[in-house]
Amino acid sequence: MLDPGHNGGNAGKPGEINKQVPAGRGKKKPCNTTGTATNSGYPEHAFTWDVSQRIAQALTAKGVRVVLTRQNDTGVGPCVDERAAIGNDAQADAVVSIHADGSNSDGAHGFHVAYSAPPLNAQQGEPSTRLATALRDGIRAGGFPTSTYLGTNGLAPRADLGGLNLSTRPAALVECGNMRNAAEAAAMSSEEGRQQYAAVIAKAIADYLKG
């Protein structure tokens, strides 16, 4: 399952996206957020939608059945708990959320892959760690640098991400880069750059599914 982060209609429905929903570990969080954007205004929701479409196309061509958590970039949500439920209900062999970060820290750049830790079920253990590592290895092999400011060597164990906490399938979240970094913003804003992100992520997912 591919989970393109955020949605194009979120900003117009603050009441809906700010409602509290289960986020795992006994906590609640807002349904969703608007996401970040480049300094020139290219939004994260558009980037994640475009890249996820490209990944889905590449995987479908390899015979992989792909489920998406949203069907367009004009809607609202789904909430984080609903996104997790889609992957759980589909019995997905891999759940990959696509995001981009928005740090204003000097020199902050690079990608990282988050996974649920400490694990709340068996699938959040070795399978999710292996998925996150496969994504990290594949994206790095594709020429993208690991994050200089989050995680360690491109991997980030997290206990605060609802979509990962609520998953009963192997799940990981890719922060493709920092939209506030000029070079990465340029890549994310270009068709060529988005295709490069999609190609390396699709290959990493396919490699993981091969076992």
Q: Is 87:1 a contact under the CB 8 Å cutoff?
A: yes
131/151 Cα distance (integer angstroms): 16
Q: Is 91:135 a contact under the CB 8 Å cutoff?
A: no
Active site residue 175: yes
Q: How many beta carbons lie within 10 A of that of residue 14, not counting itself?
A: 11
Residue type, 171: A
133/11 Cα distance (integer angstroms): 33
Q: Which of 44, 175, 184, 192 is catalytic?
A: 175
Where do the H-state alpha helices sit in 14-141? Answer: 14-17, 44-61, 80-89, 126-141
**How do 112-116 and 171-178 pair as beta strands?**
antiparallel
Residue type, 22: P
In degrees and rounded to multiples of 5, residue 115 shows phi and psi of -145, 160
Catalytic residues, by residue number, are 175
